[in-house]
Structure 1
């Protein structure tokens, strides 16, 4: 089953009853970001299915951007267990809900924003990182 951004945004707008004010949406979006971060960190600190080993990213002036990209790490070791994966996916879904709510409150189209960003990424490619 594929998801249509416009359908998602419209349904989100129709379901927003208690938090319709842009002020409520902004604070809920911020709160949901924290909830997602907490779920990721608890996967490492509480469950232990993943480990986070953050170190300085090494970037060589003698290599191309593409070569450097291959050397960069995401600092995550292991795989999410099914329980942690489910929780993180749930929190991501809530985050997308409030992002769509913000788009509706500001009369923006989430699909247009995604398409514009996709075009931007395709145009700049790896140079988008700079």
Structure 2
């Protein structure tokens, strides 16, 4: 995994020619993220392979925080079909491309970012994003 991540980051650096400005990359990353959101929305609104059934999260009042996950819903039913998975994968790839470009410009290893975040998640566990 470390080598693939490094290879990807190098490839991004080699092939990102036209939009090398930090401003270009930041806005392209934001645009790519919006396209991921739009592609996921289209799985619901156009294809229908996924449905959103959102309601207020329900959990017993006396539950331990560590047990809360089993009561939380993603509000999704179904799975993206092959065509929607293909579009989502493409859009996620573009987002990852610009994330790697941001790492390149700031001299940060994408692999190091992932390693540190993984360590933070596993160390802090339940309290990571609460």
Report if the CA contact (8 A) 2:53-2:77 is conserved: yes
Residue 27 of structure 1 pairs with residue 35 of structure 2:
no
- Could you say which residue in structure 1 is the equivalent of 2:97? 97
**Which residues of 2 match residues 6-85 of structure 1 at below 5 A?**
6-85=6-85
Per-residue CA deviation, residues 6-36 of structure 1 (Å, 9 max, x unaligned), is 1111110111001111000000000001111
- Could you say which residue in structure 1 is the equivalent of 2:116? 116
TM-score between the two structures when normalised by the length of structure 2? 0.94
Greater shift in the superposed pair: 43-52 or 2-11: 2-11
Q: Give the Å deviation of 1:3.
A: 6.4
Give secondary structure in 1 for the equivalent of 2:62: coil
Residue 63 to residue 75, structure 1, CA distance change in 2 (3 Å): same
For residues 114 and 94 of structure 2, what CA distance do their matches in structure 1 show? 18
TM-score between the two structures when normalised by the length of structure 1? 0.94
Report if the CA contact (8 A) 2:2-2:111 is conserved: no
The gaps in structure 2 that reach 5 residues or longer are none
Q: What is the RMSD of the two structures over their aligned residues, measured on CA atoms? A: 1.6
- Could you say which residue in structure 2 is the equivalent of 1:88? 88
Residue-pair matches, total: 130
Give secondary structure in 2 for the equivalent of 1:4: helix
The gaps in structure 1 that reach 5 residues or longer are none
For residues 102 and 19 of structure 1, what CA distance do their matches in structure 2 show? 11
For residues 40 and 102 of structure 2, what CA distance do their matches in structure 1 show? 24
Greater shift in the superposed pair: 60-69 or 11-20: 60-69
